Every structure is written in C-alpha cells, then in structure tokens.
Amino acid sequence: MKEIKAIITDLDGTLLDSNKQVSEYTRHILKKAKENGIQICLATGRCPESVEYKLSEWGLKGLVRFILAMNGSVIYDLQEKIKTDYYLMDGEELISVVEHFEDLPLIFQVLYGPGRYTSKITPEWIRRTKMFGESLIQVDIKEFLKNRSMNKFFMIFDEKDMPVILERASHLKNDRLYGFPSGRDCYEYVDHRISKGFAIQKLTQYLGIDLDNCIAFGDAGNDIEMIQSVGMGVAMKNGSDEIKKVAAYQTEYSNNEDGLARFINKYLCLTKKDRL
C-alpha cells in the first residue's frame, strides 16, 4: 500500500453517526492521522458555510483544512479562507427540471450561501436544517431560479418513490446536467463535469500529491466517483449496495460503530489498540 497523505471522508452516514455527531474515538484517530502529516478533508453535499459552522460542535476545528462541498462544485480552504466554485448550473435550465418533475409528490430545494431554499416547509425539514446549521426559506422555486446560477439542485421525496423518480429522471434529456440519488429520499443535479471525484483531483493537484496517496470513505451514490478516483476507496458497512460494488475496501463496522476510525487505525497503525 502506498503512503497515505490525505484522508477524504463523506459526512452523513460515514464520518457522522446517526445523531450527526463525531465520536471521541474518531476524533482521536483523526488527530493521530494529522500528527502523522496526513491531510484531513471533508467531502459533502452540504454547503461549505454550514459545515464550517458545525466543525467546533464536531470537535474537528483545526483538524480539517479543506471542505469539498456541494458534491464537488466548491472547494473551501479553511486555512486561507479561499472558496472556489466550479461549473455552476444556469437557473433557466433548472426550471426545465422543475417542470419535468413538478407533477410528482416531492419538494424542490437549492442551497444558496448558508440558506436552504425550498418549495415547501415541513416539520421534518425544520428539524434537519437546524441540525445542519442552515436557515430554511420557502420560495416560489421557479421564480427563485431565474437569473441565478446554482452549485446543485435537489429533490426530496418519500423513499418508497425512488423507483418513480429514477424512471422519470431517465427521460430528462440534458447532457449538461448530471443527476444521481444521494440518499434514500434525495435525487440531485449538478453540472455534468462535477463530482466529488472531480474535486479530489483538483485538491490533489493543489497539494502536489498523487491520487494513489489518498484514502476516501463514502456510503452513497454521490460518493462513487470519489471512491473510484483514489488509491484506497472504502465503502461503509452501512453503505448502499451501489457503492459497495465499486469500492476496493469495506469497513467492518458501521458509522455508528466508529467504522471509519477503526479502518484507518487498522490500516495505518496509528495506535496500538483498536479502541481507546
């Protein structure tokens, strides 16, 4: 195995447990990794502002330098306070996406700065946005999209309706957009050139390291390109069948059992014991 110089991890379902927290043991292992000269990077569908806001709560402030946000369309260097956007989507094109799906029982959402703009507010999304550290604003989604450019656009629905969403999405013919499920109840669109894998390539070029010297962890469909792009791609035990098929490795434990930290410690031998 090549020397690992960077650890890139998804958040929800991967680094975070079901309570959206980072355990003491996981923080301990990530601190050991950083002390050994390894960069700790987060790759997420969330906006960079909300992730930065949560770092102190997670006990990761000072451990993480780079946030690969919006599924790879934003790279935020926390040390230099530089945020770089890549390949935004035109709002007019996204209006056509709304029109393609609007007869189905779903909610349209966009992240714009620290705000989550939504076609409908529900108690569940009030709870989730508080958890994410975001503000939730209801808008006429078509009017909101006019004359704006977006990093990502997504649809929320009952998870039982995923087959219907996938079937409908297969009929949307737009080569400039890339659509994919990013969770059991979410389907997203980004520019066709964007993925977490794209962001990792940009990051490694900036750091002057090779993709083979990176290890990446994920659990869902929006992590596939990231998992495939690095030298050691790891699917979580609790991950989807889709990502497990493409990952070279799989954790022995879930995100609620310190699966990521245990894997890192086992393969990088950061401490003598598997647990504190």
**CA atoms of 17 and 154, how far apart (whole Å):** 23
**CA atoms of 96 and 93, how far apart (whole Å):** 5
In this prediction, residue 269 carries a pLDDT of 74
Domain CATH code at residue 233? 3.40.50.1000
Q: State the pTM of this model.
A: 0.89
Condensed to tens digits (0 to 9), the pLDDT of residues 148-183 reads 999 999 999 999 999 999 999 999 999 999 999 888
Query: Pick from 176, 191, 206: which residue ends a domain?
Result: 191
Domain CATH code at residue 165? 3.30.1240.10
Q: What angle do CA 175, 211, 202 make, to 5 degrees?
A: 50
Does 1 have pLDDT greater than 50?
Answer: yes
Q: What angle do CA 39, 43, 45 make, to 5 degrees?
A: 165
Cβ neighbours of residue 170 closer than 8 Å, sequence gap 6 or more: none
68 shares its domain with 45: yes
81 shares its domain with 95: no
Specify the amino acid at residue 256. Answer: N
Query: Pick from 191, 208, 237: which residue ends a domain?
Result: 191
DSSP state, residue 2:
P
Of all residues in the chain, the percent with pLDDT exceeding 90 is 87
Q: What is the mean pLDDT of the chain?
A: 93
71 shares its domain with 94: no
11 shares its domain with 39: yes
**Does residue 274 lie in a domain region?**
no
Q: What distance lies between CA 11 and its chain's CA centroid?
A: 6
198 shares its domain with 81: yes
108 shares its domain with 41: no
**Does residue 113 lie in a domain region?**
yes
CB crowding 228-248: b at 16 or more within 10 Å, else e: ebbbbbbbbbbbbeebeeebe
80 shares its domain with 10: yes
249 shares its domain with 121: no
Structural domain boundaries, residue 184: 89-191
**Does residue 276 lie in a domain region?**
no
155 shares its domain with 187: yes
Query: Pick from 191, 207, 226: which residue ends a domain?
Result: 191
Q: How many domains does the chain have?
A: 2
